[in-house]
Amino acid sequence: MTVKEIFETMDYGPAPESAADAFAWIVDQGAAFGHFIDGAWTKPRKDFQSKNPANGETLADLTQASQEDIDAAVKAARKAQPKWEGLGGHGRAKYLYALARLLQKHSRLFAVLETLDNGKPIRESRDIDIPQVQRHFYYHAGMAQLMESELPNAQALGVCGQIIPWNFPLLMLAWKIAPALAMGNTVVLKPAEFTSLTALAFADICQQAGLPAGVVNIVTGDGAVGEMITRHEDIDKIAFTGSTEVGKRIRETTAGTGKSLTLELGGKSAYIVFDDADIDSAIEGLVDAIWFNQGQVCCAGSRLLVQEGIAERFHSKLKARMDTLRMGNPLDKCIDVGAVVDPIQLQSITDMVDGNTDGVLYQAPVDMPVEGCFYPPTLITGLAPSSKLMQEEIFGPVLVSTTFRTPAEAVALANNTRYGLAATLWTENVNLALDIAPKLVAGVVWVNATNLFDAAAGFGGRRESGYGREGGWEGLSAYTKPKGTAKALKPVEAFSGDKGPVDPLDRTAKLYIGGKQARPDGGYSQNIYGKNGALLGQSPIANRKDLRNAVEAAQAAKGWSSTTGHLRAQILYYIAENLSARKEEFATRVNLLTGGKTGAAEVETSIRRLFTYAAWADKYDGQAHGVPIRGVALAMKEPVGVIGALCADDAPLLGLISAMAPAIAMGNRTVLVASETYPLAATDFYQVLETSDVPAGVVNILTGSHAELAAPLAGHLDVDAIWSFSSTPLSQEIEAASAGNLKRTWVNNGCARDWLSAEGEGHSFLEASTEVKNIWVPYGE
């Protein structure tokens, strides 16, 4: 092609990237890899192969890890962890800085390896993935340096098992390894079976950096290896990125083990275009949202919602843009769409599209390569919100679309999914953008942009897209725990007795549901005795139907979440005021119930705790992250939703208030199961709530058996989080039951908490009561 022909046709000629150095590196390793354990390579075996999805050629032979390999890696990580943490923040920062520098020095090698192994276009590996990898190690070198001054009460979890996917092999490694190492943990990481090469190359630069043996261990293999890591008894944390189905199995597997868990799972993210949007910009953004990395992105804007008035024009211009996309050799710097990662994934995409009979299918008339795993850019319009392809993740270059009329309908359609990872909205009206963004149930929202990521801004989802955040200050909590050693929690036994009532005038205790006192559905109550055997009263025994009614009442009180922190603070102060007016009565009641003398201290601490969370209600602010764009990433702290809590048995009033107050201060609605052994303090508290302007449904209180109510509460699909401070050992049952909708859990794992001390309040309660949503707002013309 001559220069004249190029200017006349404006066609792109080939601009191939050389893979010679990458192949040379593979050959230098013998084209066969073992595991990287305790700072050294194990003997390689030819158990499975890494192949180039663009042409099917074998790149290297890899080794399937055995249980013995996993045990050796975990043992090495455990041995190395105390010394690694003992280096201090500055000592660890130096190593992280060295890794960042080496990633820069070998950036082109990593980019080419990633494209060879994964099939993504080289310009994406070179210009997006690898720079982000470097950024994460630089950023977390800074976090390590600041840990001792800014997180003085935090310490490392220990050994972290990390399982990463094949769509961003090296970037997902950086997202997990960098914060873990910064906070003093050691890791055992398993890359995806399809894409292990850049993780193994990272092990090579760990050696070059002189990283102490055992700090980073990398084992390869299929899902069975991930399961061995998940089940290993000597691992303190599991961090997983992958499918929702596997995430649910991991939640069930780790239930009751005490392992910390971060899950970053699937998505079906909405891409909303309003009628005042810059259409051309929105289309270019959409190209990046769905055809970036062949649509193999968990937060891909795969669900297009276009306002009716511009839908026909938008779809027409979108098809014209699709026609210009270039597909072919991923190492060609002029290619837009590369290869799907593996024939298995290609077949999955094909089957989902071929099995669809709804809407109108359009596939771009691109030149398809004759070999390799390629699928054309695809658009399916006119789908109903309930269509399978509008609800299920395709994980390929397939965009599905429907229309909306009003902003309210756009929000309803966007939130009509079991996922909650990301969303994008396009509008030239800043008021509309900032009205819609907080209403979207997603961990990340991009305004007039898409797929913006940075180490300073946390990334993670809601609902069945998982929980926890990676990146930013909020991401560090997933790799730390409070300093100190927890004491074992002893069961709190109820008193028995045979004496008559303390007060001959009966006091009928009920349940508190929807702002009203309600009789238990089952019609049963239990006698509550004091230490001296005297009958103090009867407490209702709630059942599944009572729990269902309480959750329905909490769901009906959604308006509480949109009230101001100032209003919530006033109500909390009012509760404290009304409790204070009856403090002698409550102190006496607590002493009678517990047989102790701490009643006055418990009531006084309860009042102080209400004041504390009233103070926090309008002060627990988000952040404006310093991301490297001309714009801002706003980390907004939002309520979780409906929180169910099994309250502490040993502190009948304080335990209930310590769970209720932070939750409602942050805008949540609650279903509280009161102390099983001493419930009458809670039933007396109803009257305080009734006289304190608490809206109906914001606080619901049940009494009865924690063991009977734990599983249905944890399994309820309209409950968003569950906490357990019960002395009954229920952590495993709760965490296993929570897998149904992947609700957040906070359980005690049999550890005691001193409710009268600072341990009974603070940031941990506020963090458990909030979700962080990062809203990216670029600015400028």
Residues identified as active-site: 264, 298
CA atoms of 581 and 156, how far apart (whole Å)? 44
Kindly tell me the burial class for residue 515, based on how many C-beta atoms sit within 10 Å of its own C-beta (0-12, 13-18, 19 or more).
Answer: middle
Q: Which amino acid is at 417?
A: T
Q: Let me know the angle formed at the C-alpha of 504 by 502 and 509, rounded to the nearest 5 degrees.
A: 80
Q: Which three-class secondary structure state does DSSP give residue 412?
A: helix
The overall longest dimension of the chain from CA atoms, in Å, is 106
Going by C-alpha positions, the residue among 652, 658, 668, 682 that lies closest to residue 743 is: 668
Chain center to CA of 356: 31
User: Given the DSSP bridges, would you call strands 444-447 and 186-190 parallel, antiparallel or unpaired?
Assistant: unpaired
Gyration radius (Cα) of the chain, Å: 28
Kindly tell me the burial class for residue 179, based on how many C-beta atoms sit within 10 Å of its own C-beta (0-12, 13-18, 19 or more).
Answer: buried
- Helical H segments across 581-716, by residue range: 583-594, 599-616, 654-665, 680-690, 706-715
Which two three-digit tokens encode residue 221?
A: 């293999």
Residues ≥6 apart with Cβ < 8 Å to 331: 16, 17, 19, 54, 112, 115, 116, 122
Residues ≥6 apart with Cβ < 8 Å to 722: 643, 644, 645, 646, 713, 714, 734, 738, 743, 744, 745, 746
Q: Let me know the angle formed at the C-alpha of 353 by 351 and 355, rounded to the nearest 5 degrees.
A: 65
Instruction: Please write down the long-range contacts of 459-462, taking CB distance under 8 Å and 24 or more positions apart.
Output: 459/175, 459/264, 459/299, 459/774, 460/262, 460/264, 460/421, 460/772, 461/264, 461/265, 461/267, 461/419, 461/420, 461/421, 461/422, 462/420, 462/421, 462/771
> Measured in Å, how far apart are the chain's first and last C-alpha atoms?
37
DSSP class of 293: G
Element of type H or E holding 741: none
Query: Within 10 A of 715 (CB to CB), how many other CB atoms are there?
Result: 18
Phi-psi region of 323 (alpha: psi -120 to 50; beta: other; left: phi over 0): alpha
Query: Within 10 A of 584 (CB to CB), how many other CB atoms are there?
Result: 11
How many CA atoms are closer than 13 Å to the CA of 758, on its beta-carbon side? 3
Q: Which amino acid is at 110?
A: F
CA atoms of 657 and 685, how far apart (whole Å)? 10
